[in-house]
Structure 1
């Protein structure tokens, strides 16, 4: 006799959720650890930063310093930009992933794969092409707004052991923001779905204003994401993961068809003239 006891569906759903969160956390930690590989390539990163700056001028891209300069005398908007850069990026991504897992599992799976692939490609580029951000590249003339007004998520580059500040290309802030915006647009109806694009647009502006990225960092990240999404299969119709744990859908009541010449007795309750029929038929 089989003595194994079946795991309750709802408990199984929460176990899957824990595994998914653990996987996302592991990917993030691997990314953080991998960035340390190039932490000592400051000279090369600074030279690459100057090269990117000159390339942008040849491509006629807007001058990042010209975008930052009008805001520098005003502490409140600059501080808000620093807060957005420091505290919106990762929590917004986690909230989106959790909501999609609960409500749209197939879209969650596609987004998770896209974020993992984008992060992996970014890590390779960070190792192969270390790049100093504008705030650390003297040629740009840009200011580290986190140091000036706070809050700052980085310490001095030579003593910062938690992050590699010479990994500006591509910008995962912009790439992740666009990825979750596209995922939410796919599950939102009507014109309101276009509002999700506000997040990546604000993110792209914030990473430039704070001196953490060049325009090209964001453009390369968006291009990589487009390629990754084109390769990944489109999500199939799905049901919320926690609702699936509740079991099969019960039959619902539908009005029974009347026979020709049949008259309803007004004294008979309406429920007497219905019958059980499986959903999706009739």
Structure 2
């Protein structure tokens, strides 16, 4: 009896339900506050972070893929483009992610919780990377000759450079959550949106973000690989919890029950 009750309770937790607006607002606000608090509380191990940056830069040279400085200098020479990328880096990371969450909440309530879990798990596991592998961004490397584009062009908004730098951990570059979040957005849009042009924009978004994080010297391309690994973990955890890929869950939640083998079927 107790085992059956426990199984029923677990099935109820794992069955998609219509999200509650007030709960989601509080959850997202508290989660991001906690993430920022922990991320910025990680000791800024400057010497180790600079050593790790040198190690990554050296390995990229060995692989013949140390292209970040060339991209940084080339795009910095185009004033309007690099200024736009600075603002892109500072703002779209939050705007697009929140917009996708709102879109999912309204149009895909049956998939919302599972896709949100993937995002939260991705962000949570990234904290381990910040703690275990402190990493200086290219713009802070000694002798790297990278251009800190926010400082040079006096643009507003980046927590990574300028007057706001003291409010953010400067040595939490690995993994890149700009890539983790943008790829989460891109996959979600490309998979669930109906208009083809919107799907194409979804696919282009993480690609453009990769160019931006490299051009502004905020990340190595290897940081992007770290973000992809974190996102893979996030989707894996969501799959393990809900028994299906988030995008394959029913769009709506009305009249669903969980079958004995774990599949979702109409009631």
Instruction: State TM-score, norm by structure 1.
Output: 0.75
User: Are residues 1:208 and 2:214 paired?
Assistant: yes
1:122-271 matches, within 5 Å, as 122-149=126-153, 150-154=155-159, 160-189=165-194, 191-192=196-197, 193-233=199-239, 234-235=245-246, 236-239=249-252
Aligned residues: 229
- CA deviations 1:162-200 (Å, max 9, x no partner) are 210100000000110000111122212464423311110
1:75 CA drift (Å):
1.4
- CA deviations 1:195-215 (Å, max 9, x no partner) are 311110111100110010000
| Maintained 8 Å contact 1:64/1:214 | yes
> How far apart are the structure 2 equivalents of 1:214 and 1:160?
19
Give the 3 Å change call, closer, same or farther, for CA 62–200 of structure 1 in structure 2: same
Paired residue for 1:53, among 38, 52, 57?
A: 57
Off by >3 Å, runs of 4+ in structure 1? 154-161, 189-192
1:32-111 matches, within 5 Å, as 32-111=36-115
Match of 1:16 in 2: 20
- CA deviations 1:29-53 (Å, max 9, x no partner) are 1111112233431111111111111
Larger Rg: 1
| Mean CA deviation greater in 151-160 or 66-75 | 151-160
Give the 3 Å change call, closer, same or farther, for CA 145–179 of structure 1 in structure 2: same
Give the 3 Å change call, closer, same or farther, for CA 178–41 of structure 1 in structure 2: same
Which residues of structure 1 form unaligned runs of 5+?
1-12, 245-282
| Maintained 8 Å contact 1:39/1:165 | no
**What RMSD, in angstroms, separates the aligned Cα atoms of the two structures?**
2.3
The structure richer in helix per residue is 2
Which residues of structure 2 form unaligned runs of 5+?
1-17, 240-244, 255-267
| Maintained 8 Å contact 2:190/2:200 | yes
- CA deviations 1:194-237 (Å, max 9, x no partner) are 33111101111001100100000011211331243244232321
- CA deviations 1:40-97 (Å, max 9, x no partner) are 3111111111111111112222410011111222211110000100111101100110
Instruction: State TM-score, norm by structure 2.
Output: 0.79
